[in-house]
Chains A and B, each alone.
Chain A
Amino acid sequence: MTEQTSSAEFALFVRAHTNDLLRSAYLLTGNRAAAEDLVQDTLLRLYPSWSRVSAADVPMAYVRRSLTNNFINGRRGKNSPAQREYLVADTPERATPTDFAGHLADADLVQDLLASLPPRARAVLVLRFLHDLPDEQIAADLDIRAGTVRSIVSRSLTALRGELARRDRPALSPQSKGRPS
């Protein structure tokens, strides 16, 4: 692949997929600035080897895997005075009181849940619930066991149940039983 072809394909990919990547990064990092940096960093690191990315079965999966691992491996988000602080635990924008009963309230709650989790667990949830990846794929992407993925998901759903119950959500039956953690 010539440099020009590679460059053109990279530009096409970036224009087509940056929106999706930014959404994933936003859930992972909790704020837009950090999300933009994570996406930009990931794509520019991959650019020199873009022919390899293009040749992958699913280039988007390749890039998303890189983005997720960049996040987990601490290329972003380290609390180091020498690096920008990405405020991974930054409080996200809150829904206004008038939106409390709407979906935004759920979104805030889930964002708080994500922010309370370590990077790998957060990545598991984003890959599972935003991208609908099967447990085995998530395990392969993050180099962990499938059982660990299921455990993380289960614990997170339990935590979500607890938060929803605290808000007395009518959507859940008070006698519902969750899976054992």
Chain B
Amino acid sequence: MSDERELTAVMHRAMATRAATVGDATALAERIIRESDGVAVVDHGRPPSRIHPWLVPLMAAALIVFLVGSVVIGVRVLAGRGNQPAVQPPPAPVTSGAPTGSPPPSSAPSAGPTSTPSTGPTIKTVPAGSPVPAGFRVFDLTWISTDTGWALGTAPCAGGRCAQLARTVDGGASWTAGPALPSAMQHDIATCDAGCIANLRFADATTGYAFGGAGLYLTTDAGHSWRQQPLPAGPGGQGTSLLLGLEIADGTALRLVAGCLPGCPLTLQRSVVGTSSWQSVPLPSGGMTSGGQLARAGNTVVIRTSGNPAGGAGRATSVLFGSTDGGARWRTITEPCPALPANAGYSSEVDTTEVSVAGDGTIAVLCEPRQAGTGQPATIMTSRDGGASFTVTASDPGGSTLDHLAAASGSDLLVSGAGLMHSADSGAHWQRVLAPVSYLGFESEQVGRALIDSASAGQGSAVVWTTIDGGAHWTAFTFPG
């Protein structure tokens, strides 16, 4: 036997032996089959054939003509879209990849359907569990634990950018693509103004909500299919209400809606997570609103709204409602922000412009002068008794324009201004820890996430920042591209 034959035999045997040590792949196979359930299949119609070289430029030219024509069709459809129809009963589930309703706008190409030929640019469906597409930008985050969370963002697709989900099960150390979203939910979040799905909330591993100006969608199978949820009718029974916020805790979902902004009453509705039945919950006063915010941690819930816009939205006063039983019953919280000293040069009114509720029940509010240009700093106040009383922090974080207030706990407070400012001593001292953020949230008293917009504001973030010490220190995960 020659040396080479012996070596070849050794190589054969060694590789076979080594390969056999990998073990059984049955579980992997079943997992792959499960993951494939949410992936759209393209009907090629005929088996592959050899492509002769002379066909390539001809096909390229045909493709260009096809794409140009598709964009024209998409623009005409977009221009023709009118007001949203009146609320209808929930339609059939929207399976990822299947078109629904009106043809999508050109910026949101339809997935490859099997029953309806696509007339627009074809979306590139990313199988769940595969790498997050290059160029992914995050707009919202939701966590069911400090390990498991989802990101809603956009990724490049034919024709622009399309909504994309990503998922992590290791606290954000790594991410994989989530199930493809149906075409009705596929928008470039950065450019669709109020008419898109821009928010995501998951209650557990399978049940979640996606919502925004385009409506509210529910999934009960980890995002493989989504069912549009009806919203209350708008003024005069026309159109649908605007969804101002949705928060989940302890098996219940709360949503804050208004028929119109400004000038319509604010409505709070409550539902068992995963169901389509919502019940309205009485609020202490249902006055006209010019905006609202829903903040929740467990059973502690606060609604911030601006009321009394009779004199114009600019004269609206902030109103707070509080609940300590998960939103079943509500009381009015006296506006905590103290007025400025009387001054002939400007209004002394100060409003609560943001609210945050920490896991330990601490309520933090951001107080800002109603009139711009007063030179008076924004301040932060906290309550540890459910809003019965508030204390101003010993010092303010600096700056008259602050946003993205977050209370990780009664001790750890954060707010974004010239940078993300953190205090570990209930506001006595502040330190800059990050650049200004576009998103800030805590899933526990220690673990939280922040997003910083990419080069252009409103374009989403390529980086998810994570803190595990209440906001004092942050580490980055950067999506490729």
Q: Inside 8 A of A98's CB, which chain B residues have their CB?
A: none
Partner of A47 from the list B19, B23, B127, B480 (CB cut-off 8 Å) is B127
Shortest CB distance A152–B (Å):
12
Q: Are A178 and B3 in contact (CB under 8 A)?
A: yes
Q: Are A47 and B18 in contact (CB under 8 A)?
A: no
Q: Are A111 and B18 in contact (CB under 8 A)?
A: yes
Q: Are A179 and B4 in contact (CB under 8 A)?
A: yes
Partner of B174 from the list A23, A27, A56, A84 (CB cut-off 8 Å) is A84
Instruction: Tell me the A115-129 residues at the B interface (CB within 8 Å).
Output: 125-126, 129
Residue of B nearest to A23 (CB): B19
A55 at the A/B interface (Cβ < 8 Å)?
yes
- Give Cα A179 to B2, complex, Å: 11
Q: Inside 8 A of A35's CB, which chain B residues have their CB?
A: 22
- Give Cα A172 to B31, complex, Å: 45
Instruction: Tell me the A26-59 residues at the B interface (CB within 8 Å).
Output: 26-27, 32, 35-36, 39-41, 43-45, 47-52, 55-56
Shortest CB distance B9–A (Å):
9
Shortest CB distance B189–A (Å):
21
Q: Inside 8 A of A52's CB, which chain B residues have their CB?
A: 44, 47-48
- Binding-face segment, B70-78, B128-136, B259-267: B128-136
- Binding-face segment, B33-41, B225-233, B279-287, B310-318: B33-41
Contact with A along B461-481 (1 / 0, CB 8 A): 000000000000000011110
- Give Cα A2 to B17, complex, Å: 40
- Give Cα A24 to B23, complex, Å: 12
- Give Cα A49 to B23, complex, Å: 29
* Total of A-B residue pairs, C-beta within 8 Å: 170
B359 at the A/B interface (Cβ < 8 Å)?
no
B426 at the A/B interface (Cβ < 8 Å)?
no
A140 at the A/B interface (Cβ < 8 Å)?
no
Report, as a range, how many residues of chain B touch the other chain.
35 or more
Residue of B nearest to A62 (CB): B48
Report, as a range, how many residues of chain A touch the other chain.
35 or more
Q: Are B13 and A103 in contact (CB under 8 A)?
A: yes
B193 at the A/B interface (Cβ < 8 Å)?
no
Contacts A2-B114, A14-B32, A23-B22: A45 and B477 contacting too (C-beta < 8 A)? no
- Give Cα A132 to B29, complex, Å: 24
- Give Cα A6 to B345, complex, Å: 73
Residue of B nearest to A19 (CB): B25
- Give Cα A50 to B16, complex, Å: 29
Shortest CB distance A130–B (Å):
5
B342 at the A/B interface (Cβ < 8 Å)?
no
A67 at the A/B interface (Cβ < 8 Å)?
no
Most central of B25, B125, B479 by chain A CB within 10 Å: B25
B43 at the A/B interface (Cβ < 8 Å)?
yes
Q: Are B36 and A161 in contact (CB under 8 A)?
A: no
A101 at the A/B interface (Cβ < 8 Å)?
no
Q: Inside 8 A of B29's CB, which chain A residues have their CB?
A: 14-15, 18-19
Q: Inside 8 A of A1's CB, which chain B residues have their CB?
A: 43-44
A135 at the A/B interface (Cβ < 8 Å)?
no
Contacts A18-B29, A26-B22: A44 and B47 contacting too (C-beta < 8 A)? no
Q: Are A82 and B43 in contact (CB under 8 A)?
A: no
- Give Cα A47 to B33, complex, Å: 10
Q: Are A82 and B17 in contact (CB under 8 A)?
A: no
Please classify the interface of chain A as helix (H, G, I), strand (E, B), loop, or mixed, using the class held by over half of its residues: helix
- Give Cα A7 to B14, complex, Å: 36
Residue of A nearest to B40 (CB): A48
Q: Are B28 and A36 in contact (CB under 8 A)?
A: yes
Partner of A110 from the list B11, B174, B479 (CB cut-off 8 Å) is B11
A144 at the A/B interface (Cβ < 8 Å)?
no
B20 at the A/B interface (Cβ < 8 Å)?
yes
Q: Are B479 and A82 in contact (CB under 8 A)?
A: yes
Q: Are A44 and B32 in contact (CB under 8 A)?
A: yes
Q: Are A129 and B15 in contact (CB under 8 A)?
A: yes
Contact with A along B115-152 (1 / 0, CB 8 A): 00000000001011111000000000000000000000
Contacts A48-B112, A82-B477: A18 and B32 contacting too (C-beta < 8 A)? yes
Q: Are A75 and B131 in contact (CB under 8 A)?
A: yes
Q: Are B25 and A22 in contact (CB under 8 A)?
A: yes
Q: Are B16 and A19 in contact (CB under 8 A)?
A: no
Q: Are A160 and B11 in contact (CB under 8 A)?
A: yes
Q: Inside 8 A of B19's CB, which chain A residues have their CB?
A: 23-24, 26-27, 130
- Give Cα A51 to B48, complex, Å: 9
Shortest CB distance A96–B (Å):
13
Q: Are B14 and A106 in contact (CB under 8 A)?
A: yes
Contacts A44-B36, A52-B47: A23 and B20 contacting too (C-beta < 8 A)? yes
Contact with A along B330-357 (1 / 0, CB 8 A): 0000000000000000000000000000
Q: Which of B's residues lie within 8 Å of A, judged by CB?
A: 3-4, 6-8, 10-26, 28-29, 31-33, 35-37, 39-44, 47-48, 112, 114, 125, 127-131, 174, 477-480
| In the complex, the 3 A-B pairs of residues with the closest C-beta atoms, listed nearest first | A55-B47, A44-B127, A23-B19
The contact sample of 24 A-B pairs, CB cut-off 8 A, is: A3-B43, A10-B36, A11-B36, A26-B21, A40-B28, A41-B127, A43-B32, A47-B41, A48-B40, A48-B125, A49-B41, A51-B42, A51-B47, A55-B47, A56-B48, A82-B477, A83-B131, A103-B14, A108-B18, A110-B10, A110-B11, A157-B11, A160-B10, A176-B6
**Seed contacts A19-B29, A44-B35, A56-B48; 18 additional CB < 8 Å A-B pairs:** A10-B36, A11-B36, A23-B20, A39-B32, A40-B31, A40-B35, A44-B32, A44-B128, A44-B129, A44-B130, A47-B39, A49-B42, A75-B131, A92-B18, A106-B14, A109-B14, A129-B8, A132-B12
